Structure 1
Amino acid sequence: MASKMASDDFDDQFLTCSVCMLHFRDPRVLPCLHTFCRECLQEWAAKQQPLECPTCRTQVSLPDQGVAGLRTNFYVNNLLDFAAAKKGAGPGVPCQVCEGNVEGSKSWCADCAKLLCESCTLLHRKFPLFEDHEVTPKNALKAEKDVGKFHRKRHCQKHKNQELVFYCESCSALVCTACTVVDHRPGKDHNPVEIATVAQRKKETLQGLLQDMDPRLKDIQAAVKEVEKKMSNLMPSKEAATDQAKAYFRQLADLLQKREQEIFSQIDEQCRADGKALQTKKEAIEFESVGLTSAQTFCQQAVEHGSDVHILEVGNQVRIRVETLLAKQLDLESNWSEFQFTENTAVSDVEKEVENFGGVKTNVDVSKFQVAAHAKPAVQGFASKYKVAVKPAVQGFACIAELTTTNQEGRPCVTTNMEDPSGTSIPTQLRMKSEGVWEISYVPKVTGKHRLEVKVNSQHVTGSPSDVDVKGKDTPVLTIGRKGRRVGKLNRPVGVAVDKDGNIAVVEQNNRRVQIFDTDTGKPLNSFPVDGECPHSIAVDSNGRFLVTSRGNNFGLRRYSKEGKLLNTFRPDCMAFPLGVAVLQDGRMVVVDYTQQSCLLLQPDGSLIRDIGKGLLQFPEFVTVDESRGVVYVTGWFAHKVIAFDLDGNLKFAFGKYGQNDGEFKSPLGVTIDPAGNIIVVNHDDGRLQVFGPDGTFVRTVATVKGGHPFGIALIPDGYIAVACHWGHCVEMYRYS
């Protein structure tokens, strides 16, 4: 970066506050290095707690003096002085001392940071007090290109007429010459050094940081270009996929239409065959009817009209004929029943399989559970007796696939074979989990595409062979939601919990609702709105009811039924800014109060039992309780610690400090415990999900959360951790055990 900046190198926007849209007035710098007017920050801080940067939304912890304690952006002040001096050097601008002379040229006093007319300049130089002031005349002012010439001189707060020219390294403070004699005398406690010497070292350090930033910026810019390139391919990809899908489903439709015509032909053929057979049967019966009718007529005529001689002549012949006809065995049954169409595959079964008719494949890791693994999109055999379903697989963990059958015809002969990406065989174990369900377990040693074959009686089952995508521990096995307002989408998720059915309950800050998702598939099951301006955390009591905290104007702790009906609102006098919440088996509740800087132990009716941690907590956020040990764990995001108390309010221990090493924290937020009493904590800043023993000893790092700025976490009974990713607008699940 150049050491000098000319007036043409910056525009008016650089000197404008993004809040008030005016030139900076007393500019102050936040820790995130964004600058705003002092008054703007004071108004902003009065509207929200904790204070967030208006530009990047980074949470800011103000010093004890408030906004006034933030550092002044002297560089911006210098630029403002430089711009004002350049603009006001000519005639027509009033003198900033006598405030009346607008004629003639002006000079600039760097010590007073004012424009002076010629008269005031002469008078200014005559005063002994101002004889050392640096005054730049009109001609030099117009030609000046170096902003550095317009640095306002800094004077000592204690010795007002003394310029700050030394830096006490022991105290990290700027001091004047008088201070080095009185308060910062060189010795074992103080080490005043000329500012230029220390500043040079600082500049060298900053120069190194600039060099470190250049490669990162290039990587980011390259990534932006790559994303833009992919965005340009988005619509062509959509059109191609749409065309492929249309062709695929057109083929399916053609197959159905072809089968429909085949069935119609079979019906016509069957109708013709049955008609021919019935016609033949009818003719045979009619032939017998004619013979019997003829004999009956002849016999009746003989009886009624024949003479005795005639009767004697034909009687015996008639008798023989009739007896022969009557004795004949006749098949008078047609042996035919109405034919009908039969549904070999029920429509409901097809409906269940429709989701397997094709799919969308992408190179982007959408991290979704695979309910059933298929080698390629295809119509599976509907009448198949067996099907294999593959659970999410993570390197180094025991993983499973389940084989199910639709019949109970004894125990079949099941064989399995699994290979890693290199073709190396992976040992598998088979056990019957329940009647008709077999569990196939294995431990993958590498990541990537594995191949699983499952055969029953030497025949491949539905879904075999399967491609099993084994992920690393830092890759989520399931990602639920994306930014949006509709059901199934999320907007700033904060708290997460597991309900009585093992499903995931998520509280959304911006949508002001709770959504319930299926743990295996991530599909939305239910949702209900919640009261409060900014909902924050959620817990589930022993009866399956939801407890939700919210901060802001309509703050409180609210209890909802399993169906989402509001049952109770708790807002005791001791509560002001509720955040994290945990609930005990007997219904007692522990609520973090940000304003009180403590935890409130409440009765099931919301009345206060006691304060926990008051005076010992710094900016607490989330809480969990280990009832078996009677310990309450609270995260302090600003203190970078986890603090443990007993339920009587006594401090037991604390662990953690700021850092990026194992066991260290960067703004810890979500916290929970596993069945063994281990403490699981997620860092808000760097996403590390760490595990500690019941005594606070570091055990391991589970994963580094990818979704961005994690908040609440919850442990799912089947060995996964759900993490609410606030800025990623999703919930990510990672393998825990």
Structure 2
Amino acid sequence: MDILIHKLTCSSCGNIFNEPKILPCLHTFCKNCIEAFMAEGSAFCPVCNKKIGMRHIDELSDNVFLHSAFDMLALMKDRESFNCDVCDPGDSNSVAFFRCPECMQYLCELHGSAHLKARATKSHQLFTIDQLLSSWNLAHLNRPACCSQHFKEHLSSFCEQCDYPVCNICIVNEHKGHPHMAIDHASNIFKPTTSNLIGEAKPRIIELRDAISGIEEMCKNISENADLALDDIEECFNRQINTLMERRKQLVTEVQTCRMERLEALHEQRDRLQMRLLSVSEMYSFVNDAVKNGNAADYLDIKNAINEQLQAIIKHKEELDVVEEDYIAFHPNDIATQVAIKFLGYIDTRYAYPPLCTAEGPGLEIARRVEPTVFTVLTKDKKGKLLTRGSDNIEVIIEGKGRKDVQIIDNEDGSYTVTYIPIPISENVVHIYVKGLPILGSPFRVPFNVRDYTNITSPLIILGRYGLNIGEFRSPSGVAIDDKRCLLAVCDRDNIRIQIFDLASYEHVSSIDVSGHMQDGPFDIAIDGKGRLLTTDPKGNGIFVFDGDGNMLYKIGSRGQEAGQFGGLCYIAVDNANNIYICDSDNSRIQVFEERGTLVDCYGNYGNEMRQFNLPAGISIGSNSNIYIADRGNHRIQILDSNGQFIHAFGVRGSLNGEFDFPHGIATDVQNNVIVADHYNTRLQIFNSEGEIIHKIDNIILPHCVACDRCGHIYVTTKDNRIYVF
């Protein structure tokens, strides 16, 4: 009974519910309690603090789910008060003996027997009151649900248009013409969805309980560590107090010793002078009497002795100066003491917060050889400030390697030096944990050994052919790499779609139909750090932004010549901050937008000087943030810094190495090597970051757009409706 009473107790007033109402957050309170805290100006649930969102309490639903619990409590207290629902009121023999859950009726013994014999109800299962009390199955005590608009009318149907239960009167009046179904049928349709959600929510309850247990454990640990810190403080200060008392004793001893030594010396001097004074005084008195009172004969008899003694007194130089000084003082040196006290221990409450801890260094960028490579883990607190101590639990796991293959050195300043030997595979996956939780950016995918382009002679694979089917293309153009998800995106222009392939298997993953947004098909494409696909169309109608599932999010810009507009063919790239760079070919300029479409910069015009362009046809952002542009009509590559300032240009028209004939596409790898689709020379040319040629790949049929992944694999679209992978 205690459990049942707890279920029926309002958490606000502590009494049994009186007119229980359900808040939108599904917490239940008495009607009066809700009115009380709403009157006090609180519009939030006292349990979960969610906003109630109701202006009037009558907008809240009654908690009919508690009716069965109320009935069970009433049965337990006084079963004789429940009468048969079929008998006439006042019938003395109408005490309920059975309950029919299906009809939701209490029945006496007589009507219970008749219920089991009637054709319509003989299949119903009846439960005695004793069975109800012993089973505690509240579902057997459900009451009929009545319409709030038509009193005592049972809710028998479900209005599909209005999405709530209605009675028979509602169907012919307020909901006339609305599609509806039997309420039991509707319940059977919707319950599986709710049951699935319940199943999905159950682990959340376990997670919350575990989190609460973790919090309680943390509270316990905090109290224990606080007690240990207090004990350490007490011990430290007792130790310092003992040291201070010992120093005090030393100073007192020094003062007492000084006083004793000086007084002893002065007493000795005083005693010596007193004896001398006595001797001289007696002789002086004797001589004075002899001179004044003695006769001449007596005086002359001792004259020589008297004069000799007097001369001796006059000549003798006594030590009359005081042999000691009275200066004794204590200098406390308060400044030094205050400084010492200031540095006498400190309370360290900062701790490593894994989501803000970071890692950096060459060991997380590129693994060049099977030899030790290094990176640094920086532990930071919840405010993102670097810790200045070590001793945190740092764990580094390289997929495919054991923990013993990783060396971690605690630098005792909040940083940890990690050394490992890479595995010679396409990429090493590095997991970094602080106190068992992943740090910011973990796991890190580290490509192994940047591509040696000089040994490329033929494609690794050729994807597609002309056609309408999956994996086939009609005029493929833009191509982009999603290194995080290991995906390849291709603009299948004349099929008006974007095709997505898996980089590991080169299998088709999905297709995005863009015909509802761009009638002329997608032209060029880029993928930003959030996995969004940004594509342009051949007529410069704008930048179309899709999420990773192909849902259109928003459009940037329109056709035109003003800043923020596009002249026609547009090539696209994004940087690490998700800024968008547009190579506005027909307007011979570069435009830069932030990710939501605000114009940041616009520079360049038609010409052949530096920062001037002639129908540029490709753009790429290097890992050094420089901007690489295929200046098609000028047959050259221009390199600008991140602010659009000219750095360098290379190339002239021709067919020799390092020369171009209308370069169309451009890409950069992680080392800022430059890959150029040399269109009419039917080749790819590969240059280092200084513009010096490394390699060329001939016999590619009119290469158009090009992309490069983290491992240095090159993907190029061609006029023969294929994707060449090198």
The verdict on a shared fold, with TM-score over 0.5 as the criterion, is no
TM tier, shorter chain? 0.3 to 0.5
